[in-house]
A and B are shown apart, each in its own frame.
Chain A
């Protein structure tokens, strides 16, 4: 009984080792699998993965409209105070007051790109962009206002 277990154990060990060697051997012979990006050389045709997170942006459509309602969910979700939502009150055509954003201030220098704000956003107003060349000469340039000047909220987004 002991002997059978012993032999089984050895055989299983060799089997699992060979399995590992087959995988690395496959990678060794298939150079197409190489994932290294030779960055400054292939800058024009960078092949970034879909989930790559560079910075938070707010997409606008052609009519300079965004989807942000100014609910401050992102501000509350941010663990280190990267986002600051400054709200204002618009007067709707019906004469009602309506809450909207004045500025969405985003401190890139504080951001850890944790993606929590994007997950917290109820109206999908912000998303992660794939840009990553962020170096600037002045720290103040890293504080960005995400909404374009004179932009409006899109119709139908509450």
Chain B
């Protein structure tokens, strides 16, 4: 049974028991609870994954004491964060200080809405999916700026300002990279972009320009999610923890969770745009191979691709050293932006001339 048929059955069952309006309200509540529980599970899994990946890349063992293979380590950490006191520093702007982490997590929740997790299984099939994602993701910088400023701490303010400059400039090249796929598929809707990859993913169909766009997208979103090597906003060794220096307990946990959920979301978008989302891997005329691939559920395809990209971003984090601020801006304005601008022109020519694999 696929996820979409399950959702359909719940919908029909609810319709049979109550009016249309209450069905809608109840479905909203169900979706909200699902999103929150998905957040919690995602946070636990990604933190454990990050710690294991980092350990193995640095020839260490990683968490291995709590539970078998350290699987319960994230639970223990969450429990600790839950029972910790949430301090509000003296001299902080209390209202903004407390609202900033909520804002961060709200933006992540909004971004979860248009993502198709499986075939015909998404919360909101918005017709401008890609534009919506890039618009709402730019809201995340606000909560960082608010957090950094309202903490009344110089480290926090410096981190927030760095993050502001970084996100504003890297959004440009991320947008350009997304634009290449929009040009090729001719649609802003995530569903239609996935449909356009039925006979092959854009990464394979689109020749070199799409590969360049993919590389630029991965670099730009690594910067946008404030992860190493672009983590100057929270550089532990320079700014203690940047914009969340003053946060503790659950408020800190919300920032932490929002960061990991954002990583998941940008990787999911990357998987949708370049790797075909839930589309199974099909190779030309190999019908037998294609049939076998079709048997794997679409949700597994989606999660597999997304976690592959997440692993790639973690690989970056544990390999490369942190950039300086001037190097960061130089990378964007000297390299990524000019290359992606020329790349967009190339892709437009490709799309008009029809030189990609159809």
Contact = CB atoms under 8 A, between A and B. Distances in A.
Interface of A: 10, 17, 20-21, 23-25, 27-28, 31, 33-36, 38
A34 B319 contact: no
A27 B315 contact: no
B61 interface: yes
Contacts of B339: 10
A24 B57 contact: yes
17 contacts: A17-B319, A17-B320, A21-B319, A24-B57, A24-B315, A24-B319, A28-B53, A28-B57, A28-B315, A33-B59, A34-B56, A34-B61, A35-B59, A35-B60, A36-B59, A36-B60, A36-B61
Contacts of A28: 53, 56-57, 315
Given A20-B320, A21-B315, A24-B315, A10 B59 contact: no
B256 interface: no
B335 interface: yes
A87 to B, nearest CB: 48
A17 B61 CA distance: 25
A72 B57 CA distance: 47
Nearest to A10: B335
B4 interface: no
Interface residues on B, range: 10 to 19
A135 B53 CA distance: 35
A27 B58 contact: yes
A38 B316 CA distance: 28
A86 to B, nearest CB: 46
A25 B53 CA distance: 10
Main secondary structure of the interface of A (DSSP, over half): helix
A72 to B, nearest CB: 43
B252 interface: no
Interface centre among B60, B316, B319 (most CB of A within 10 A): B319
B335 A31 contact: no
A80 B58 CA distance: 36
B318 interface: yes
Interface string B249-280: 00000000000000000000000000000000
Contact of B59 (A17, A20, A34, A38): A34
Nearest to B65: A38
B59 A27 contact: yes
Contacts of B316: 21
Interface in B44-77: 53, 56-61
A9 to B, nearest CB: 8
Nearest to A38: B61
Contact of B319 (A10, A20, A35): A20
Nearest to B335: A10
Interface of B: 53, 56-61, 315-316, 318-320, 335, 339
A23 B59 CA distance: 11
A27 B61 contact: no
Return the 6 tightest CB-CB contacts between A and B, nearest first: A24-B57, A24-B319, A36-B61, A20-B319, A28-B56, A28-B57
Contacts of B320: 17, 20
Contacts of A38: 61
Given A35-B59, A35-B60, 9 more contacts: A20-B319, A20-B320, A21-B316, A25-B57, A25-B315, A27-B59, A34-B56, A36-B60, A36-B61
Interface centre among A17, A27, A31 (most CB of B within 10 A): A27
A27 B59 CA distance: 6
B181 to A, nearest CB: 22
Nearest to B315: A21
Nearest to A20: B319
Contact of A24 (B60, B61, B318): B318
A36 B54 CA distance: 14
Nearest to B215: A14
Nearest to B334: A6
Contacts of B59: 27, 33-36
Nearest to B331: A13
A33 B56 CA distance: 9
A33 B58 CA distance: 10
A30 to B, nearest CB: 9
Contacts of A23: 319
Contacts of A34: 56, 59-61
A36 B65 CA distance: 14
A20 B318 CA distance: 10
A27 B335 contact: no
A34 B61 CA distance: 7
Given A10-B335, A17-B320, A38-B61, A31 B315 contact: no
A34 B56 CA distance: 7
Nearest to B219: A17
A10 B316 CA distance: 17
